[in-house]
Structures are given as structure tokens and as C-alpha cells.
Structure 1
Amino acid sequence: MKFAKALPIWPARLETAMNITGGFRAQLMDAEGNLPESCTVRVTASARYRLFVNGVFVGCGPAVSPHGYYRVDEWNVLNDEYATGRPSIVAIEAAGYNVNSFYTLDQPSFVQAEVLADGAVIAATGVTGAGGFEAFVLPDRVQKVPRYSFQRPFMEAYRLKPDMHRWRCDAETKPAEAAEVTVAEGKRLLPRGVNKPAFDAASPAAVVARGSVSQRDEALEPWRDRALTDIGPKLKGFTIDELELLPTDELGKLRTSWQEHCEPKLSGELHLEQHGAAILALDCNRTGFIGIAFRCEVPSRIALTFDEILTDGDVNHLRMDCSNVIYLECEPGAYDFETIEPYTLKYLKLIALEGSCTMTICTFREYANPDTDRAGFSCSDESLGAIFEAARESFRQNAVDNFTDCPSRERAGWLCDSFFTARVEADLTGDNVLEHNFFENFLLPERFEHLPEGMLPMCYPADHYDGTFIPNWALWFILQLEEFRDRGGDEQLIASLQPRVEALLSYFEGFRNEFGLLENLESWVFIEWSKANDFVKGINFPSNMLYAGALEAAARLYGIESYYDDAAMVKQMIRELSYDGSFYVDQAMEDADGVLEVTDNRTEVCQYYAAFFGIADPEEQRDWYMSLVHDFSPIRHADEPLLADISGIHPANAFIGYYLRMELLSQLGLAKQLIAEIKAFFSVMAERTGTLWEHNRTTASCNHGFASHVVRSLYRDGLGIASVDRKQQSVAIAFMDTGLEWCSGKLPTPEGPIELDWRVEGDELHYRLSAPQGYAVTIDNYSGKQLVTES
């Protein structure tokens, strides 16, 4: 990927300034001085851009890429899609953040763009005069504001004037004086690699509440998150003393009083007098760009706050320790405003802090994966269908250009999370283009700054200036890489990653003790959000179980026999030291005399690690397996007798404990119980937000990528598509006793969809199956019913 003429530019002397928004505009003419019938815009930037043609939104980007590389987008602009008449003006707005985060990288700001008509460049950045781009420092966005969160750059605050966007479509209007530009050194460029996002429009479905705000009587301590208090070399931003605005402090002094009755429909205009407030609701939790058209008769200040849920009937914009606030100062006039960054919400609260406003339109431009409609699932239990749709929605919002944990607080590409979400990409889209980009991003950097030699960052692309990493989480990279190969992943890419894998395993060699086990791992050893995280010092057995699994995966990937030997040794030592005759223990520590002592610290999640990584044996430890199935079931009845004494075993959390439990039930063929537990665990989430949550309660993100993994369980254990081998072009069907009356589904592959429908009629299971031409099909029947094939 390369540009024919364009050079990377930015307003002079501001390339490393924090939170500068640049505007870049080109007037289009072909070689004869005529407007083109259509054009292609090629563009990349650091850090984020959005593109307009004749004032109409076209798209935004770029896709995430590793340090020192930039992915290039190409937008094919047809005049009937984006404007009336031929393309005449291309405008680009770009936010240059220059701070470290988990979402965008701390690299000097630039924009590089060119416009082509019939293959000829008619405008390009870095060209002076005709055929070039004018540059501006856009004055409407306030620079010195707080970070949005510890994990993301700055919140959005604006000082608006009427016709502030006219420069995008009127060559005679300038947003500011034209800026001198600096041309940067050449950039290493990559193709986008993934499909462009879906920008579907949504609108609020209802007005949830109307009321007014007033000053609180009691004095409250102002909110002081680490994103405000820890600013310095390791977390870049503006200190509290440097801030021009701190909207969360003003909002923290307000209370809202709600009217007893509220018109539930959003019809026509919504007017707010000074101190008025209203909450609008989308149909479900969505991610995208918040847009409102409104007018102000007097100078006004407006706050838009938002969240995924309502807390005590109101929007708590600080619920996830991020500033879910958009702040607008407005002169009298009419405005059509849209955020430059995507946010996640179901509820939007408008507050007229000062003056008044009349909202005429509220829109929400989605930012989501465009390819998830290729799949389908339905069954006789409607709640499972709703869970599937909530999982699909969670995936499409967390798989735009990377596998993200959440599309809200972080937008970060975490290892381990990606292991589970990557499976869903294959199931819902039939492809692995995001996963290819994901691994390419880890491949290309020469090294990862601030981390030990060989270690992989816990999430990437991201900056980790504080040197924090999760050593055991890096092992999931190897496990996912093996599954990427099995999904038909790029063999050359896999081969190129062998040095990364070997360097990672070499890093762990330095932590192996006399038993061959990892001991005293450094930095942040993470098992899951439960008591298990308290037992990570010394020898942590779940981490060693994961280590053994990674060694085996590396051996299979690259044919290195010594990894098999090491894995066998680690697994045997875990069996000897960790299993106490009833359950697996989490931890062993040396006493004051250097003697190793196995503690009595036991957690539920440790048991699931033992099952998932093949430490336990289903035949030899049947009682242990049955205790996990029965005694730890979230749907067991209180009066049922226990099979084992489970006192002192600390319960698991959602991730990764419950997801490993689902794999355990599937491994044992207990589809009916698994389906029942899925319904019990996820139904409330699907009903309340239409997305699936980080935890089993609303204390954190209500939209998490890994949670979409329930798609795999519903296809495999509910529908019966047990496995698909895209490389060998084969599909295995396993009919189970699910307790369902009927089930139907479509799973895409590159060669076409696999479609399966079945229904139970008495002692018979009638089914209809179609697979792409050339796919070999095997069918196993564990349903207890006689199979009847229908054409």
C-alpha cells in the first residue's frame, strides 16, 4: 500500500502537541478543470480522522496498527451516495492526541491523503497551491480537558459557533486562518486489511424521563480518578491545574429531580429550559457517534451524559470510572453536532446547564462490524434466541478493526479475551480477517518498549509506559495462534511469528524452579476477577496449567519436540503437587527455611483450568468431574445433596471461570445442562441491555467482546454443529439431548453457509442439513432419538 503523491502533514510545530484537532480541505477538479463524476479518497492518520465529501460524512479511521505503521483506507465516493451533484470538496478532521493509551498510540500527529479520479491524483496533502490540501487548527474543540479514561485519550468539549461546519462544503468559508504545515518523514504503510465499518443510523426510541437539575445541598468530594490524579510521564495528559474545563466537577454538584409523568415517545422537538434535563433511550446498548441537531436562542451550555444502564433511575456518567460526558458551549444559533469519537450507551441524558436549547433531531451513527448478518440462530426457547442476538451485538461492537474488550471504557485489544472472541469471528462471519490483523500487529514491531525481552504486551496496539504486563496472559497468544492455523489462518504469518513465540517461551525459562514449574512471575499475574488473584505468589498452579497448554500448542505449531517434553513434565508436577485428593490447590509457597509448602488455597476457577488444559483425567477423576458439574452449578437447587465438601473453595467469576465451565460441560457432552446454565446466566443481560456483560452484574462494562463466545456454545451444543474444519473442508454434526423442541441455524464459511434445522417429534429427531459443495460431513447422534433425514 502506498500513496502516489500525498505526503504526511500537520500544522507546523504542533506535531507532538496534545489534543489538537486539525482540518484539511481540498477543492476537486480534474485535469480539464471540471468536477469529477466520482472519486476515491485514500487516507491515513495519527491518531483518528473522519472524512466528509461535500459536507456529508463518508467514514472514519484508520484501522489500528502497530507502532511505526499506519493502515490506509480507500473510500470510493459516488456522488449519489454522499452529495447532490459531483464531488467538489473533500474535508478531513483529524484528532491528534499524543498521549499514551490502550486505544490509540502516542505517535506524532499527521494526515496523509490523496483524491483520485479515474486513477489520476487530483488532490494530495503536501502539494502546494492547486491540487493541494489547506490545513487549519480547528478552534471549536477545547484542548485542555481531562482524559476520557485511564485507558483512552481526551474527553470531548467544544465551544461552538453557528455554521461551524460550513468549511466542509463551502470553499469560501474558513474555520480559522490557514495554518503553515510541516511535512513529516515517510511512513510505513499497511492496507486496512479488514472491511470498513457499518455506520447504520439509529435514533432514540423513547424519552425515559424529564426533569431539572439543581445544586446539591450537601458538599460531596469531587471525583478524582487516576486519569486525573496520575498525570505525568507514565500517563500523559493535562494536570488538574492546567485544565480549561473540568465538567465532571460541575456535574458532581448537581442533583436531578424528575417529573412524575413523562411523555414516553420522542416526537418532534425536545425543548429544555435552563437547568432542564431529559433522558433518551436507544432500543439496546449501542456503540457509535452521538449526534444532535439543535438550536439555542441565547448563549448556552449543554452537557450530554450517557451510560449503558440507568442507576437509580438516572444516568451515572462515572459508573465505569470514565467521563461519559460531552460538553458544549454554544452561541445563539442552529447546530448539527456529532462526536468525533465512538461511545457506548443505551441512555443519553441532555442537560441545559445554562441558557436553553431545543433539540430537533437526535441520531446515533453506529460503529460496528459489517459482516455479522451472515449467521443465524433460533430455537424453541425464545430467550436463547435473544441471547444469541445479544452475543452478536456484543461481537459486532467489539470487532470493528480489532478484538476489543469493551467498546466503551478501553477499546483495547487484550490477549486471552481475543482467544475467545476470535472463535466468534469465524462463527459469525466465516472469515478471520480481524484475527489476521491482530497477529500482524504483534508481528511487525521490532520490540515492545518498556517490557522485558521476549514478553508480549497484555493488550496491543497500546502504550505501556508504566511497564505493566500480564506474563501468563501472553501464553494465550500461543493458544490462539494454533487455533488461527486450524481456522485456515495465513501459514506465512504463523511461520513469521515463530521467533516471537520462541522468545516468549525463553522468557519463561528464567522463572522455572527445580520442579520445572514457573515460580514468582513478575508484574501483574492475573487469573480472573475473583479470590484466585490473591494466590498468585510463589507457584501459581493455574498459571502453570496454562503454561503447559501453551508449550503443547507451540510444539504442535512448530514441531519442536522439547516443548512436548517440558509440557509433560509441568503437567505431571502439577498433578503431584496441586491435587489434594479432592480438588486442585491454587498455590505453593516456600517457607522461611526454603521448604516448599502447598497451601490450602483452593478456587473454583483453578478446577476449570485443570479441566481445560488436560491436567485432570475424566476417567480417573470421575467423582471430581461430577462434583464440578453438580456442586458448582449456578442452577443447582439448595436442597440437592452435595457430592463433595466444597467449603473453603472460593467461587469463580464470569471471565474466565464461567467460560471455562461452559467448555467443561461441552467436553462432557452435558448439552442440556449447559443450555440451561446459559439461559440462567445470560437472559437478564440480553433483556436489560441487549448486550452481554463483563461480570455477572452491572458494576463494570455491559458490553464485552469475550462474552460473545456464547455463540460458539449455542452453535456447538445447542444446534449441533460440533466443529468446522475450514482447511480440510469438513463439518462434524453431533446431535445432543438439549431439551429443545426445535433448533435452526446458519453458520457461514468462505465457501458458503452450513445450514442445519431439526425438530423433535416423539422418539424421532427430524433434520435437514446443507453444507458447501466439497465439504465432508460426519454425523453423530447422542440425542436418544432416532434420526430422520429430510430433504
Structure 2
Amino acid sequence: MTSASWLAAMITPENDFDGAPLLRKEFTLEEDHGAVVKATLRATALGVYEASINGVPAGPDVLSPGWSSYEWRLRHRSYDVTALIRPTTVIGVELGNGWYRGRLAWHGMSNLYGSELGFFGQMDIEFADGHVQSVASDASWQAGLSATTFNDLYDGQTIDSRRLQQGWAEPGFVPGTGWTGAREVAFDVGRLAEPVGPPVVRAGVVRPVEVFTSPGGKTLVDFGQNLVGWLRFTVQGEAGHTITIRHAEVLEEGELGVRPLRTAKATDTFILSGGQDSFEPTKTFHGFRYAEVTGWPGNLGADDLEAVVVHSDLERTGTFECSNELVNQLHRNIVWGLRGNFLDLPTDCPQRDERLGWTGDIGVFAPTAAFLYDVKGFLQDWLLDLAAEQKAQDGLVPITVPDVLKYCPQPAEFPAPESSALWSEASVWVPWALWEAYGDLSVLENQYESMAAHTRRVEGLLSPAGLWDSGFQFGDWLDPDAAPDQPWAAKADTAVVATACMYRTAILTARAAGLLGKHDDEASFEALAARVRNAFAEHYVAADGTISSDCTTVYALAIAFDVLLTPELREFAGNRLAELVRDNSYRVSTGFAGTPFITHALTDTGHVDGAYRLLLEEGCPSWLYPVTMGATTVWERWDSMLPDGTINPGEMTSFNHYALGAVADWMHKAIGGIRPLEPGYSRVLIQPQPGEGIDWASTSLKTPHGEVRTAWKYDDGGFRLEATVPDGVAADVVLPDGARHGVTGGTHHFEAALAPAPDYEVSR
């Protein structure tokens, strides 16, 4: 739809109505054109909207149009509403603050994008004779009061059911006292964009597993799963009676653990009408497992309410299961972490006063995400925002996208924003992960300018020696050996981390240029990569192979990114990495930078046993420690909850952060044995690499060409593998004894004479 075809205007109510106004437009169908054959509603908002036709929701989406870089992209959605059209029809719209006007980030600021809510919509009705009747938002629309008296994504929603106006979105409703008109506001339709990703929807329901009384006498509800969404219920009580519900991810000393929320109130308030009231606060969302309910009339039971799970509408594509139930729970935790944080954009966490699109998190998690779900459109949409923010900042990829932090005050001692290794690298690493997963060259075509602009900008930041050794870096953020209040204080030298990341970025950008036929760029970026690689070798690799700062992260990155110059240096790095992991009793010693790559680095240098022991360790810090503590999502810190059940004293203590769950990429590829030999899995490598502690595993992936499945087990002292390959796809199968087989579509069975390694005891 071109801008010329829009008849709509951006409108805002003459009265703000507590930040949650209703808008309505009643109209009659034009006559003498025959039957209605198609009716389409296109809508968007400055804020969030819910649209209905004659009182029926126009679609299943919630929190639309989501959060984009509003300065350049305001997405609109289209709805086929043909079945809802009547001779007299009402378009009804509920507005809320959402990301546009609500509180964002931890600075306590609202209205960062604008101070007025707005709606922009148009219904086009096509008749049998080809005539089209268009009904568009303009000053003729009416605006009124909703039952919502307060709404904020961080702080919650208040609904006073005494203000509910029955039938307001249906024909024949007569607006009473308090209803006003709407006025048109200036708006550039050039900002309108078709969404590339899916909408946010109600994706499921979770019932309580327990309702109980806390030591302090509070009524608490445990849903058994840390999730993202809200509560829904029907209740009856005295008019004016108030029910208050607070949300949190964990308990501490038997009470709701709200300190990790920082300033986010995460509280919904419901005021009863005296009749039967149904409540669902769809203008906010919370990250929670537990709810504290105050004021419930009578005794609250587990059947009285339910949690509605909310996230972007994604198709599940990958599965994993094995003989170790703790590992299975870890994998489920990773899946739930993705679901909770893929709410319109990839966020760091869904519960506290943050919930931002941190680039570093998705930069390392994208391969895992692209295995578990079809995230192609979801991440492509986000990458368009990244490119828009980057273009406005002279090639600088901000640390969050959308970049709301540019509107927030920063301490005077903070350096000016600049490219940051790993974080800004998302501009290159995410498109490449999508290319490998889906084999769609248009992803690289659409993002190439962004990829190249980032790489060239960082080239300008390199020292004369070719190192990225200046400016602020997050480095190996949240190294487990760093103090809780010093997440940047990692063992790994930030310049070593940054320079290794730059090498990977330069070589991937060169490969993208080559695929797109930009051979001059390809040669230029290859030369840049070679310069950085040689500088890394000269300044950070000692004659005996030791890498500067001599810790697990620097060896993991050097191996995983192939930055070392010779096979001998790579072998030394693998041995040294395995030694450091062993000397640390297989406890995790890496932060955000090293964790996604360490198991790959161990496996690729012949230390599969070390990778398995690292994965299966249960002592803190480890991937399985949170599982033993009852976690149902991945934590931000290895010890977000301490062994005594108290919450980590650090200011950043989320219990739903997917970044450290990037280990699932290794689980899928090494344990499950599925990886692409060509982008989009047009050729597949099937190579399960079994190790101590796991006796069988089954893994599946819906690729663009069909489903790939593996299932292996130890049986009668041998190794047995069943592998399924889609028709038309060739696969290389490599067994643990080194035997290789080439197969095509179908299900195939293999055996290898390999006894399982003995079990070992893990520390707890």
C-alpha cells in the first residue's frame, strides 16, 4: 500500500482520558453496489491499540503495533474483517501508552517519543461491482472514557469496571456525557511500514500449581513456571472493592521477591462493579512465576485465575531431549527464556525497569533462537530498526535497539556512545546467523549496508597496530568471578575480546560481500580481517601460544573465531582451555562473551569430554546450578539466587535472561549432531558427539527443506543412530568411530562399536 492510497489522518482524542481512551466510528454501507466481497482494516498507533469491529476483536494480536524505532518506522497491521461487516458497522479502538509514551529504561522517564497518543487507521470495503468504500480515521471520530484508569508496561494497569461502557463499540450506542471528539495531528505517512515480523499474541495459558499463605500472611499464587504475560479472571464482589495483584519471578524468605524489579511496580489493580466482572490487563505485561493477591473476595482457589502467556507469534522448529533430566530442564528453561523475551523485539529481560533490545544478547543467541523457532521475520524486522538507528548515528550500532537510551541522561563521567564489541557486532552476526539457518540471500542483501557500515566504522577505531584497544567495552560482561556490583570486571582483557570479535566481524562481512557479488568490498574486508588477525597474533599471542590474560574466554573466542594463525597455536589453545576448565573443577568461568563459544571451542579442539563435564556440572557457577535451585528460565547471573535461597545482591539480577542459554546451540549441534553444511540446511552434517553423562539424545529441526531428525543411544555396548533427512537433501553422517556415510532423503540407521564412557560424579 503506497502513501498515496492512505486517506487516514493521525488522530488524538480531545481528552486524554487517563491515557487509555476509546475511539469509535459508526458508519453505514453504501448502497447499490452488491454484496461486500472483502473488507480490510489497516491500523497503527502512537502507543498501543486494540481494534474491534462491531465489538468483535479485529485480530488475535495484543500490544500492537509493538515497539519499533518510531522516528523512522511505525508499523501497521492489516486485518481481514469481511465476516464482521454489517449494514451499520462500528470500528472501535482502545488505546494505551505502550512503549511510545510509557516509562522506558531505568531513568524513570516517560513520553520519550511523544506526549500524545494517536491512532491511524483505514477500512477499505470492496463490493461485488468493484466499488470501494473507505472509512478512515479523521476528526469525525468520537472519543470516550475506558475502564482503564492507569496503564504502564513496567508498573501495571488499573481497571475500574464501574466505568465500563457496555456496547460502546457496537451499532446504536449513544455516547453520553464525557464523550468528546478527536482532532487530527501532523504525521508523516512516509514513516508507515509493513511489518516483517509476526504480531504479539496470547500464546497459551498456565494454571496455578499452588495457592498458599506466606509467612507474612500474604496470599501467594505459584504458576510453576516463570513466564511473561498477565493474569485473567472473572470475579464478583461488592461495588468499589479493590483487588491488587503484584508479580515477581521468585520468592525470598517465603515472600514475593520484588527487589530485582528495581523501580518497576509490576502491579495490577482491579476495582469491582458489584456484578460479575471479567478482568484482563492487556495494556501491560509482567515477567513472573508468583503473584501476590490482595483483596480477593472470599477464598482464592487455583481454579479462580489463570496466567496468559504473551509473546510474538513464532512457529516452533527445533526440539531436543536426552537421558539427563537436568539437561532437559535446562533446555526447557532456554525455550521459555526465548518466549518471554521475544515479545515484539529481542529483549534482555521482561520484568524490571529495562526490557530493552540489547544488541549483545541477541548477537550471541541468534543461532540458538533460529534453531528453536522460526525467527527469520521477527529478527529481520528488528534488524531494520537497527539499520535505521545506525544510519542516523553515522554507522554507530547502539547497544540497544530501538535506541531509547539516546533520550536518557547519562552520568557526566560516561564516555560518548561508540561502537562496542559483541554488542554492536549484532549488525553482522545476526544477519549471518539468519543466512546460515534459512539460506535466504535477501537477508544479507537487506542488511549488507548496515554490516559494512559497522565494520568500516570499527576499522576507523583500530589502533595503528590494528587492535581494537581503546574506548569503553563491556567485554566478558558478568564474568562469574567479578563482584556483584562490578559486572565489567572480567578476567579477560577487553581489548583481546574486542579484537577477536572484530576479526570475526570482518571475515563475515567479507563473506557476505562475496555472496552478493561485491568483490571489491570482499577483498577490502578480507584484507582488514588479515590485518586484525596478524595484529592479534603479534600483540596478544606469546611465543609459547599463551594468549594475553590467559583465561577461558580468550581461548574460547580465539578458537571459535579461528583467529589463531597456525594449527599448532590452535592445538595449544585447545589444550590450555581444557586445562583451565579442568583446574576450575568444570565450573563456568566465562561471562557474556565467552559462554556462547566455550563448549564449541572445547569440542572443536578434541576435548568433547571437557565440554560435557562443563555442561553437566551442578555446582555454582554452572548451567545446571540454577536448575537444581528450581529455575524454569535462564538467569542473568550464574548465581542470581544464592545457595541459601537469597537473591544476589547485585542491582542486575534477572531470573529470565536468555544470553547464557546460547549453550543450546552446542547441544543441538554436538549432542544432537545437526548442523548445516550449506546455508538453510540444503546440505546437512549429522555428527552426534556423545560424551559422559548422557546415554541417549533425540533432536529435530524443521528446515526450509523439511525436517531433519536424529536419535542416538548406547545399546548393548555399541552406538546406534537413526537419522532422517528430507527428500532432495544430501547429508554427511559421521559416527563416533570416525566412519563416514553419504545419504539422501529418508530414514537411515547406523551402528558403531563404541562403548559408553563410565559415569562420573558431579559436585553439588
Query: TM-score scaled by structure 2?
Result: 0.78
Q: Give the Cα–Cα distance (whole angstroms) in 2 for the partners of residues 572 and 501 of structure 1.
A: 22
- Residue 306 of structure 1 and its aligned partner are, at CA, apart by 0.8
- Residue 178 of structure 1 and its aligned partner are, at CA, apart by 2.4
Q: Give the Cα–Cα distance (whole angstroms) in 2 for the partners of residues 744 and 416 of structure 1.
A: 30
For 1:577, the equivalent position in structure 2 comes to 539
Contact 1:29 1:36 in 2 (8 A): no
Q: Which of 280, 287, 290 is residue 338 of structure 1 equivalent to? A: 280
The answer to whether the aligner puts 1:456 opposite 2:397 as a matched pair is: yes
- Residue 665 of structure 1 and its aligned partner are, at CA, apart by 2.3
Contact 1:720 1:735 in 2 (8 A): yes
* Equivalent residues in 2 for 1:771-790, closer than 5 Å: 771-783=725-737, 789-790=748-749
The answer to whether the aligner puts 1:663 opposite 2:664 as a matched pair is: no
Q: Give the Cα–Cα distance (whole angstroms) in 2 for the partners of residues 165 and 490 of structure 1.
A: 49
The answer to whether the aligner puts 1:693 opposite 2:642 as a matched pair is: no
Q: Deviations over 1:549-575 (max 9, x none)?
A: 222222222243233233323223333
For 1:565, the equivalent position in structure 2 comes to 527
Q: Give the Cα–Cα distance (whole angstroms) in 2 for the partners of residues 325 and 117 of structure 1.
A: 41
Q: Give the Cα–Cα distance (whole angstroms) in 1 for the partners of residues 508 and 337 of structure 2.
A: 29
- Residue 282 of structure 1 and its aligned partner are, at CA, apart by 1.4
For 1:106, the equivalent position in structure 2 comes to 113
The answer to whether the aligner puts 1:732 opposite 2:685 as a matched pair is: yes
For 1:268, the equivalent position in structure 2 comes to none
SS of match in other structure, 2:602: helix
For 2:78, the equivalent position in structure 1 comes to 74
Residue 8 to residue 209, structure 1, CA distance change in 2 (3 Å): farther
- Residue 539 of structure 1 and its aligned partner are, at CA, apart by 7.6
- Residue 730 of structure 1 and its aligned partner are, at CA, apart by 0.6
For 1:59, the equivalent position in structure 2 comes to 61
- Residue 23 of structure 1 and its aligned partner are, at CA, apart by 1.7
Residue 729 to residue 40, structure 1, CA distance change in 2 (3 Å): same
Q: Which of 694, 709, 719 is residue 765 of structure 1 equivalent to? A: 719
Q: Give the Cα–Cα distance (whole angstroms) in 1 for the partners of residues 379 and 531 of structure 2.
A: 32
Residue 166 to residue 356, structure 1, CA distance change in 2 (3 Å): farther
For 1:677, the equivalent position in structure 2 comes to 614
Q: Give the Cα–Cα distance (whole angstroms) in 2 for the partners of residues 86 and 397 of structure 1.
A: 42
Query: Amino acid of the residue matched to residue 126 of structure 1?
Result: S
- Residue 412 of structure 1 and its aligned partner are, at CA, apart by 2.3
Contact 1:126 1:183 in 2 (8 A): no
- Residue 43 of structure 1 and its aligned partner are, at CA, apart by 1.6
Q: Deviations over 1:423-451 (max 9, x none)?
A: 13431235622222122222345833xx5
* Equivalent residues in 2 for 1:250-649, closer than 5 Å: 257-258=216-217, 277-297=218-238, 299-328=240-269, 330=271, 332-334=273-275, 335-339=277-281, 340-352=283-295, 361-409=304-352, 410-430=354-374, 432-444=376-388, 447-448=391-392, 451=393, 453-463=394-404, 464-465=406-407, 466=409, 468=417, 471-472=420-421, 473-488=423-438, 490-492=440-442, 494-522=444-472, 525-530=474-479, 531=482, 533-534=488-489, 540-558=495-513, 559=519, 560=521, 561-580=523-542, 581=544, 583-586=546-549, 603-616=551-564, 619-620=568-569, 622-633=571-582, 636=585
- Residue 751 of structure 1 and its aligned partner are, at CA, apart by 2.2
For 2:182, the equivalent position in structure 1 comes to 180
Contact 1:525 1:536 in 2 (8 A): no
Query: Amino acid of the residue matched to residue 710 of structure 2?
Result: L
Q: Give the Cα–Cα distance (whole angstroms) in 2 for the partners of residues 436 and 709 of structure 1.
A: 19
Q: Give the Cα–Cα distance (whole angstroms) in 2 for the partners of residues 538 and 707 of structure 1.
A: 20
Q: Give the Cα–Cα distance (whole angstroms) in 1 for the partners of residues 92 and 498 of structure 2.
A: 51
- Residue 44 of structure 1 and its aligned partner are, at CA, apart by 1.3
SS of match in other structure, 2:453: helix
Q: Give the Cα–Cα distance (whole angstroms) in 1 for the partners of residues 668 and 322 of structure 2.
A: 11
Residue 198 to residue 155, structure 1, CA distance change in 2 (3 Å): closer
- Residue 86 of structure 1 and its aligned partner are, at CA, apart by 11
SS of match in other structure, 1:306: strand
Q: Give the Cα–Cα distance (whole angstroms) in 1 for the partners of residues 551 and 717 of structure 2.
A: 42
For 1:270, the equivalent position in structure 2 comes to none
Q: Give the Cα–Cα distance (whole angstroms) in 2 for the partners of residues 655 and 9 of structure 1.
A: 43
SS of match in other structure, 1:427: helix
Q: How many residues align?
A: 682
- Residue 349 of structure 1 and its aligned partner are, at CA, apart by 0.8
Q: Give the Cα–Cα distance (whole angstroms) in 2 for the partners of residues 425 and 502 of structure 1.
A: 24
Contact 2:76 2:193 in 1 (8 A): yes
Q: Which of 209, 212, 215 is residue 209 of structure 1 equivalent to? A: 212
Q: Deviations over 1:99-143 (max 9, x none)?
A: 6736997146321223455577667342566xxx43335473237
- Residue 305 of structure 1 and its aligned partner are, at CA, apart by 0.8
Q: Give the Cα–Cα distance (whole angstroms) in 2 for the partners of residues 142 and 539 of structure 1.
A: 44
Q: Give the Cα–Cα distance (whole angstroms) in 1 for the partners of residues 670 and 300 of structure 2.
A: 52
Q: Give the Cα–Cα distance (whole angstroms) in 2 for the partners of residues 387 and 404 of structure 1.
A: 20
- Residue 775 of structure 1 and its aligned partner are, at CA, apart by 0.9
Query: Amino acid of the residue matched to residue 614 of structure 1?
Result: D
Of 20-29 and 489-498, the range deviating more from structure 2: 489-498
Q: Give the Cα–Cα distance (whole angstroms) in 2 for the partners of residues 609 and 307 of structure 1.
A: 36
- Residue 715 of structure 1 and its aligned partner are, at CA, apart by 1.7
Query: Amino acid of the residue matched to residue 216 of structure 2?
Result: S
Contact 2:249 2:287 in 1 (8 A): yes
SS of match in other structure, 1:609: helix
- Residue 767 of structure 1 and its aligned partner are, at CA, apart by 2.6
Runs of 5+ unmatched residues, structure 2: 410-415, 514-518, 641-647, 742-746, 751-764
* Equivalent residues in 2 for 1:72-221, closer than 5 Å: 72-77=76-81, 89-96=90-97, 97-98=100-101, 101=104, 106-107=113-114, 109-116=117-124, 124-127=135-138, 133-136=141-144, 138=146, 140-142=148-150, 155-161=156-162, 163=164, 167-168=168-169, 171-172=172-173, 174=175, 176-187=178-189, 188-210=191-213
Contact 1:10 1:135 in 2 (8 A): no
- Residue 578 of structure 1 and its aligned partner are, at CA, apart by 2.5
Of 31-40 and 312-321, the range deviating more from structure 2: 31-40
- Residue 323 of structure 1 and its aligned partner are, at CA, apart by 1.8
- Residue 309 of structure 1 and its aligned partner are, at CA, apart by 1.4
CA RMSD of aligned residues (A): 3.9
Q: Give the Cα–Cα distance (whole angstroms) in 1 for the partners of residues 333 and 268 of structure 2.
A: 31
For 1:262, the equivalent position in structure 2 comes to none
Contact 1:478 1:554 in 2 (8 A): yes
SS of match in other structure, 1:419: helix
Query: Amino acid of the residue matched to residue 221 of structure 2?
Result: L
Contact 1:290 1:338 in 2 (8 A): yes
Contact 1:487 1:725 in 2 (8 A): no
For 1:744, the equivalent position in structure 2 comes to 698
Q: Give the Cα–Cα distance (whole angstroms) in 2 for the partners of residues 121 and 183 of structure 1.
A: 26
Q: Give the Cα–Cα distance (whole angstroms) in 2 for the partners of residues 470 and 315 of structure 1.
A: 39
Contact 2:125 2:134 in 1 (8 A): no
- Residue 461 of structure 1 and its aligned partner are, at CA, apart by 1.6
Residue 7 to residue 677, structure 1, CA distance change in 2 (3 Å): same
